[in-house]
Amino acid sequence: MHGAKTRLTGIGRSYYHVFSRVVDRRKVFGTKEKEVFRKILRNQEAFAGVRVITYCLMPNHFHLLLEVPDRETFEPLDEAGLMAVLPLLYDDETVEGVKQEFDRARAAKDERWHQEILARYERRRGSLPHFLKELKQRVTFFMNKRCDRVGTLWESRYKSVLVEDGENALLTVAAYIDLNPVRAGLVKRPEDYRWCGYAEAMSGGRGAKRAREGLGRMLGEALSDPDFRDDWRLTSARYRVLLYTEGEEVKGDESLGIESRRGFAESEVEAVVEAKGAMPLAEVLRHRVRYLCDGAVLGSEAFVNEVFEREQALRQRFGEKRKSGARRMRGADWGELRVLRDLRKDVIGD
C-alpha cells in the first residue's frame, strides 16, 4: 500500500504526465470554468517556473505534460522578481502586505529577515507537488464559490507518470493529451477544441506564444540545447503529422478483441501526411487569417510587385533598403497568392 503512494521522480530537469479527475466524475467544467482554469494554470506556471508543455482541460478531468526544472540550475528569486510574479496569484492587499514587509526588513537593516521572506516563496517554485497542490486548490476555491458548494472537488491525489526527456516519448504523450477531445467525440479535430495546448498554439490568441513555446520544447534540438529557438512553422508541421497519424480511427473487431476508437478517417491522415503537416487552404479559411486584414496588398506576385514599384516611385513608402514587393504567405499552402506585408506572428488564429 505504501509503495502505491510513492511517486517516481526524475533527476535534474524532468518531465511528467499528470492527470486528475473531479469527484464522482461530475462534468463541472463548462466554457467559463475552463477559461478560468486555464488562466489559473498559466499564472501558476509563470510563478512556479514549472513549464506547461501541453495540456487538455476536459469537462471532468485534466491532463498536463509538465517540465520541472533542475533546482540546481534554477535562478533564485530576488525581491524585484518576486514582486513581479506575486500579482499573478494574489490580490492587491496581499501583494502590498509583502511589499511593506520588505520595506520594514530594509528599514531594520535585517538581511536575514529579507531572505526569510524570499525563502517563503522560493520553496514553492520548481516543485511538482507544490505546483499541483496550489493549482488544484485555486481551481477548487473558484469552483466552490461559483457553484456555492463546499468540500473537495477532486476524487483523489493526482496521478503522475515520469516521462523520458526524449523527443519520441514526449511527443507521444503530448499527442495523447491533445487528442483527448477527439477520442471523446467532442470535436473532430484537435485544433477545434479551445482548451488544449495544440488548439491554443494554433489560435493566434494571447496565449498562443506560450503554447507554441511549450510544444517546441519537446523537439530533440531544444532538449539538447537550452538556448535553441524553435520555429513554430516547423514545430506545427511535425506535430500535426504526429497528431493525425496517432489519432487515426480504429474500427472494432469483436472476433479479434479489437475495440473501436474515434479518430480521423484514413483519408484525412493520408492528406495531412501528404501535405507534410501544412494546413490546407480550405481549412485555414475557417480560422482568422491576418493576411486578409493586415497584408496591405494581396494577389499574384506580378500584381503585388506592380503596386510596390508604383508606391516606391511615388513616395518611397517602404524605405530604400527594400528592393522587392511580393512576400510569400505563411501557415498554409497559398498557391500563387502573395502579400505586400510580411507577417511573422499569429498569422492564423481563431
SS3 101: helix
Give the Å distances, CA to CA, from 143 to 36, 146, 234, 238: 10, 5, 38, 37
Pairwise CA distance, residues 199 & 286, whole Å: 14
Which among 327, 323, 299, 298 is positioned nearest to 309, based on CA atoms?
Answer: 323
DSSP 34-85: HHHHHHHHHHHHHHH--EEEEEEE-SSEEEEEEEE--TTTPPPP-HHHHHHH
> How much is the pLDDT for 234?
81
> How much is the pLDDT for 232?
83
**140 within a domain of the structure (yes/no):** no
Last residue of a domain, one of 122, 146, 176: 122
Residues of the chain with pLDDT under 50: 1-4
> How much is the pLDDT for 207?
81
**180 within a domain of the structure (yes/no):** no
Domain of residue 319: give its range: 288-349
Beta-carbon contacts of 186 under 8 Å, excluding residues fewer than 6 positions away, are: 193
> How much is the pLDDT for 102?
94
Q: Which residue has the cell 467544467?
A: 29
> How much is the pLDDT for 271?
87
> How much is the pLDDT for 38?
96
> How much is the pLDDT for 314?
73
Cβ atoms within 10 A of the Cβ of 345, count?
A: 11
Last residue of a domain, one of 93, 122, 151: 122
**238 within a domain of the structure (yes/no):** no
**3 within a domain of the structure (yes/no):** no
How many domains is the chain partitioned into structurally? 2
| Helix/strand number for the chain, H first, E second | 16, 8
**108 within a domain of the structure (yes/no):** yes
> How much is the pLDDT for 241?
92
SS3 345: coil
> How much is the pLDDT for 4?
47
Q: What residue type is 288 in one-letter code?
A: R
Pairwise CA distance, residues 199 & 190, whole Å: 6
**72 within a domain of the structure (yes/no):** no
> How much is the pLDDT for 345?
66
221-235 tens-digit pLDDT: 888 887 787 788 788
**40 within a domain of the structure (yes/no):** no
CB 200 within 8 A of CB 215: no
**242 within a domain of the structure (yes/no):** no
> How much is the pLDDT for 161?
92
CB 53 within 8 A of CB 218: yes
